[in-house]
Amino acid sequence: MINNSRVLIVIPALNEAGSIGDVVREVRGELPTVDVLVVDDGSTDDTARLAAAAGAIVARLPYNLGVGGAMRLGYRYGYEHDYDVVIQVDADGQHDPRYVPKLVDALSEADLVIGARFAGEGDYTVAGPRRWAMAMLSWVLSLLAHTRLTDTTSGFRAANRSAIEMFAFWYPVEYLGDTIETLVHACRRGYRVRQVPVAMRKRMAGTPSHSPVKAMIYLGRAFAVLTLAMIRR
Amino acid sequence: MNVRLTILTACIGLVVLAVILELLRRRQLREKYALLWLGTLVVIIPLAVFPGLLDNLAGRVGIASGVSLVLFLGIVFLLLVCVHLSWEVSRLEEETRTLAEDLALLRTEAMAAIARIQGPGAAGKNEDVLHRTETEAGTRNDQQ
C-alpha cells in the first residue's frame, strides 16, 4: 500500500540471474508494502528461482515473448488481482525503487506516469543517431500527450486502474512496441500521460550498446514503429 | 503449340493435383487451403492442355499472348497467397502468445494455491517438480 493504493511492481526479466535477486530484495526492502511480480520471459538461467527466493511472486513464460508479452502478463495479473497501480521496473537494477512513491503520487493527475531521464535528475547522456531518435520520439510524443516528454523509451512507468485495464488486453509484443506504441495508443485514446524526473543508475549487469550502425538502425526502426503506431487503429 | 510441351505442363498439373488430394486424404492440409489449391488447379489444368484458351481475353486487355496473361495472373496470385500466409502466421503468433501468457498466469495461480494449502515452502518444491518434469519432457523429445 502506498497512499491507500494497492501497488504491484512488475519486473520483466530475461536471463537476469546476475541482478534479479538484488533488485527484488532492494524493492522489497525499500517498499515493504508492495507486491513484486517477476515475469520470467523464458530465461534459460536461474532467474525464476532466484527471484522467488528473494520473495517475489514469479510468473514463468514457457518461451521468450519479449518485453511486451511479459508486460501484458504483468498487467493481466494486476488487473485480475485488483491492484490500483502497476509499476514496471527493469530487472537490471538501473531503476531506483525510491522513486516509486513519486510515480504513484503523480498518478493523482495522470493515468500513465513515466520515470524519465534527461529531466533534470541524474547525468545520463547519449550522442549521435540514438540521440536524434530520442529527440524525434520525444518531440512527436510530447505533441500527442500535450505535455513535455523527454524519455519516451523509459521502462520505468506507473499505470493506474484504467490504464491497467487497457494494457491487460492490449499490449504490443513487437520491437519498441512496449514503449513507443503503448504511449501513442494511450495518448490517442485520451489517457493522460505525464513524466516524473528520475535519476537512473548504472546497470548491475549487462552493457548498453554504443555501435553507430546499431544506433542508425535503431533510429530507422523507431521511426517505423512511430509511423505505424500513428496510423494503426 | 508444341505437343511435347503441352504433355509436360499437363503432367505437372496432374502431379500437383495428386499431391494435394493425397495431403487432404491424410488430413495434413486444412480444407480451406486444399479448396484454394484445388480451385486453382481446376483453372490451371485446362490451360496446361489448351494454352490458347486465354488468347482472346488477353487480346482484349492488351496482352499479346494468353500465356503471358497466365504468367502475370500467376504472380499476382502467388503474391496474394504470400500476404495471406503472413497474415495467418501473425494471427497464430498472437494466439500462441496469449496461450503462453495464460499458461504462465495459471502456473503462478496454481503455485499460490498450493502454498496456501500446504503452507509456505511447499510451493517452491512443487515448482521444482514442475520444472523437472518439463526438463525431462524436453530431453525425451530431444531423444526421439
Pick from B101, B124, B127: which is nearest to A73 by CB?
B101
A65, B101 Cβ separation under 8 angstroms: yes
Residues forming a β-bridge with A39: A12, A59
Q: Which residues of B touch A49 (CB under 8 A)?
A: 127
Highest mean pLDDT: which range of A70-74, A121-125, B45-49, B129-133: A70-74
Q: What percent of chain A has pLDDT over 70?
A: 92
Q: Nearest C-alpha of chain B: how many angstroms from A143?
A: 31
On whether residue A1 sits in a domain, the answer given is: no
How many C-alpha atoms does B137 have within 13 Å on its Cβ side? Answer: 6
pTM score, whole prediction: 0.81
Same domain as B39, residue B5: yes
Find, among A26, A20, A22, the residue nearest to A91 by Cα.
A20
Those residues whose C-beta lies under 8 Å from the C-beta of residue A194, and which sit 6 or more positions away, are A106, A109, A110, A112, A113, A114, A145, A147
On whether residue A90 sits in a domain, the answer given is: yes
Q: How many whole angstroms separate alpha carbon B78 and alpha carbon B76?
A: 6
**pLDDT for position A158:** 96
**Is the pLDDT assigned to residue A65 strictly greater than 80?**
yes
- When pLDDT is averaged across residues A39-68 and rounded to a whole number, the result is 94
**pLDDT for position B141:** 43
B48-93 pLDDT tens trace:
778 778 888 888 888 888 888 888 988 999 999 999 999 999 999 9
Q: Which long-range contacts (CB under 8 A, 24 or more apart) does B55-58 make?
A: none
Q: Measure the CA angle with vertex B104, ends B102 and B105; round to 5°.
A: 65
Q: How many whole angstroms separate alpha carbon A221 and alpha carbon A219?
A: 6
**Is the pLDDT assigned to residue A106 strictly greater than 60?**
yes
**pLDDT for position A54:** 94
Same domain as B76, residue B35: no
A118-162 pLDDT tens trace:
655 555 566 677 788 888 888 999 999 999 898 888 889 999 999
Continuous segment of H or E residues that includes residue A11 = strand A7-13
**pLDDT for position A134:** 83
Q: Nearest C-alpha of chain A: how many angstroms from B111?
A: 9
On whether residue B88 sits in a domain, the answer given is: yes
Strand stretches in A95-223, DSSP E: 112-116, 157-159, 193-197
**Is the pLDDT assigned to residue A7 strictly greater than 70?**
yes
Same domain as B132, residue B82: yes
Provide the number of structural domains found in chain A.
Answer: 1
Cα dihedral: B8, B12, B13, B19 (round 10): 160
Same domain as B70, residue B14: no
- CB burial readout A135-167, b (16+ within 10 A) else e: eebbebbbebbeeebbbbbbbbbbbbbebbebb
- When pLDDT is averaged across residues A175-198 and rounded to a whole number, the result is 91
Cell of B41: 488447379
Q: Residue A62's domain is classified under what CATH number?
A: 3.90.550.10
Query: CA-nearest residue of chain A to B130?
Result: A60
On whether residue A2 sits in a domain, the answer given is: no
- When pLDDT is averaged across residues A4-16 and rounded to a whole number, the result is 93
Pick from B101, B105, B127: which is nearest to A52 by CB?
B127
ipTM for the complex? 0.84
A217 φ, ψ (degrees, to nearest 5): -60, -40
Residue B103 forms contact with A (CB below 8 Å): yes
- Find the helix packing angle between A161-169 and A67-80, rounded to 10°: 130
Q: What percent of chain B has pLDDT over 70?
A: 82
Query: CA-nearest residue of chain A to B108?
Result: A59
Instruction: Identify the band that residue B137 occupies on the pLDDT scale cut at 50, 70 and 90.
Output: very low
Q: In chain B, how many H helices and how many E strands?
A: 5, 0
DSSP code, position A194: E
Residue A109 forms contact with B (CB below 8 Å): no
**Number of other CB atoms surrounding residue A219 within 10 Å:** 19
Contact A60 B97 (CB under 8 A): no
Q: Which residues of B touch A76 (CB under 8 A)?
A: 101, 105
Provide the number of structural domains found in chain B.
Answer: 2
B13-30 pLDDT tens trace:
889 889 888 888 888 888
Same domain as B77, residue B29: no
On whether residue B57 sits in a domain, the answer given is: no
A155, A90 Cβ separation under 8 angstroms: yes
Same domain as B73, residue B45: no
**The domain containing residue B120 runs over which residues?**
62-144
**Is the pLDDT assigned to residue A213 strictly greater than 60?**
yes
**The domain containing residue A72 runs over which residues?**
7-231
